Amino acid sequence: MPEFAHVDLTVTPPAVTVPRHYNAAVDFVDRHLTQGRGDKLAIIDDGGQYSYAEVAERVNRAGNMLRGLDVAMEQRVFLCLLDSIDFVACFFGAIKIGAVPVPVNTLLTTNDYEYMLGDSRAGVLVVSDVLLEKFAPLIDGQPQLEHVLVSGDGVAHDHTRLDALLATADTTLEPAPTCADDVGFWLYSSGSTGAPKGAVHLQSDAVQTAALYGSGVLGISEDDVVFSAAKLFFAYGLGNALTFPFHVGATAVLMAERPTPDSVMARLSQHNPTIFYGVPTLYGAILADAGLDRGASSQRLRRCISAGEALPEDIAKRWVERFGIDILDGIGSTEMLHIFLSNAPGDFKYGTTGKAVPGYELRIVDENDQAVTAGELGELLVRGPSSATAYFNNRAKSLTTFQGPWTRTGDKYVQDEAGFYVYGGRSDDMLKVGGIWVSPFEVESALMAHDQVLEAAVVGEADAKDLIKPKAFIVPLEGIDGSPVLADELKAFVKDRLAPYKYPRWIEFVEELPKTATGKIQRFKLRG
């Protein structure tokens, strides 16, 4: 058995060196015991509080439990778990024995889970009790699936309860002889334009993002308490609420329920976190309630971060006016595991996504993969140490996304004269109006600056001459009537702020916009 080395936390980014013999669970969990943090508070979830020593014991029990179910190295373990200590234990427990945890979105349909279970060929499913009913119709049709374990005290039907197995499992566990380049875990992409794709990440990927962005940009330390509205199954949330705090010995607050303004503000007020991670739609929803301000939030809050979609400038400015803290907007992806382009403390600019996180390189290219000229819009490519190796069992998609050391993001960007990157939209969302590219995000940002608009989404619509023009779907603020008068006012509002050809020719008022579980607007569902 090789002796596992730890990543040197004194190394200044971007020089993150991961030893050949490496196990992420040893690094992120066991290391805190050897460094004297066993009694330090690691996790606060809806059911209780857990020190690093208690987390380590539960991780060991989970690993031994999986070994007892004959889970071998490299075999997949399917996790459909709400944010809780059970997610943490099963995720790191699988990694410690060299198995491959596959955490998935807890808000999907039975058909989605049927596809992903079959695609992953997982032999074990660990599922929260309240989510079990979505799996009931498909379990018997999964030939690879041998064990179903239910987390929680709710109805388990004839399946085994996770707690019962953990209670009898050994509390000591020798880690598998993994190396830095072994597969560590999978994360499924959102699948907004087709079947979900399993992005394959290595044992060493999480420590790269934790060191380069968590420590290098945010400056997270063991004195921090973090709270992420984005869930652990999401690449953004996995870093925010697990690998970043566990990299430095901080404390993470986990919440099982969906992140509404009320539930989020309740946790901020109760636990006084120092770092909060949200998404643009959540920040906008909080601002829509005039009664929510710094007094109803955490008094220790020092960092606010946004990702998932680009943050409109108006939301960023209104947030700092009310809460006194700038939101650091950034962009990451499932494929890159976390944020690789971000604003940073002391180096940010409203309305931009910032600059490359140290340790990552960026390129903006045209349709022929040639570098664009300064100030020109193009597709963003990224190169960095946390990129997934491929999409499992999907060579065609892998070849188009992972091209040598570069990963295609599918996002359009332009770099301004100060070196900041300005978001232009998703490549497949861009509109060509009168032969000129129009970014839906730019039009949406203009609309959301209006004081009667809560949310906006813009798509292309054909006019009477079959020419594409912008169409806007608007969610008005509560109590505001979506009238023809307001529609005309919004059109004029955009004309005053953008080039005239960019204004929405049609405006449709709706109660809500279709979104992914991570808050991204699903514009394809709005297209006619």
Residue 253 has a CB neighbour count (10 Å cut-off) of 23
Q: Which residue has the higher pLDDT, 170 or 1?
A: 170
Identify the band that residue 10 occupies on the pLDDT scale cut at 50, 70 and 90: very low
What would the pLDDT profile of 339-368 be if each residue is shown by its tens digit? 999 999 999 999 999 999 999 999 999 989
Largest CA distance in the chain: 73
Residues 385-396: b if buried by 16+ CB within 10 A, e if exposed = bbbbebbbebee
Q: What are phi and psi of 389, to 5 degrees?
A: -80, -30
Question: Residue 12's pLDDT is what?
Answer: 47
pLDDT of residue 6: 59
Q: Determine the average pLDDT of the residues in 368-391.
A: 94
* Residue 13 reports pLDDT greater than 60: no
Lowest mean pLDDT among 1-5, 22-26, 423-427, 462-466: 1-5
Q: Any idea where the domains of the chain sit in the sequence?
A: 70-205, 431-525
Asked whether residue 83 carries a pLDDT value surpassing 90, the answer given is yes
| Whether the Cβ atoms of residue 251 and residue 245 lie closer than 8 Å to each other | yes
State mean pLDDT over 389-400.
96
Which pLDDT does position 462 carry in this prediction?
84
* 527 residue type, one letter: R
Q: Beta 183-188 vs 225-228: how paired, if at all?
A: unpaired
Q: How large is the angle between the packed helices 280-287 and 313-323, nearest 10 degrees?
A: 50
Comparing CA positions, the residue from 267, 309, 300, 270 lying closest to residue 286 is 267
Percent of the chain with pLDDT over 70: 95
Q: Taking Cα atoms as reference points, which of 504, 500, 441 lies closest to residue 470?
A: 504
Name the average pLDDT for the chain: 92
| pLDDT for the residue 473 | 96
Q: Which residue has the tokens 């002889």?
A: 177
Cα torsion at 468, 470, 475, 476 (round to 10°)? -140
Report the pLDDT averaged over residues 207-220: 97
Residue 114 has pLDDT above 70, yes or no: yes
CB 164 within 8 A of CB 61: no
- pLDDT score at 354: 97
Worst-scoring range by mean pLDDT, 30-44, 57-71, 187-201?
187-201
| CATH number listed for the domain at residues 70-205 | 3.40.50.980
Distance CA 288, CA 280 (A): 12
Residue 34 Cα distances to 27, 28, 202, 302, 344, angstroms: 10, 12, 24, 29, 32
Distance CA 253, CA 228 (A): 8
The pTM of the whole model exceeds 0.95: no
Is residue 125 within 8 Å of 147, Cβ to Cβ?
A: yes
Alpha helices (H) along 17-51: 24-25, 31-34
So what's the pLDDT on residue 435? 63
pLDDT at 432: 67
Q: Is the pLDDT of residue 145 over 80?
A: yes
* Range 116-132 average pLDDT: 97
Does residue 191 have a pLDDT over 60? Answer: no
Average pLDDT (179-207) is 89
In CATH, the number for domain 431-525 is 3.30.300.30
Q: Quick check: 64 pLDDT over 70?
A: yes
Helices 440-448 and 313-323 meet at what angle, rounded to 10? Answer: 40
Closest CA to 166 of 85, 109, 274: 85
Contact 343, 320 (CB under 8 A): no
Six token digits for residue 96: 């410690």
Tens-digit pLDDT profile for residues 432-460: 676 667 888 889 999 999 999 999 999 98
pLDDT of residue 295: 92
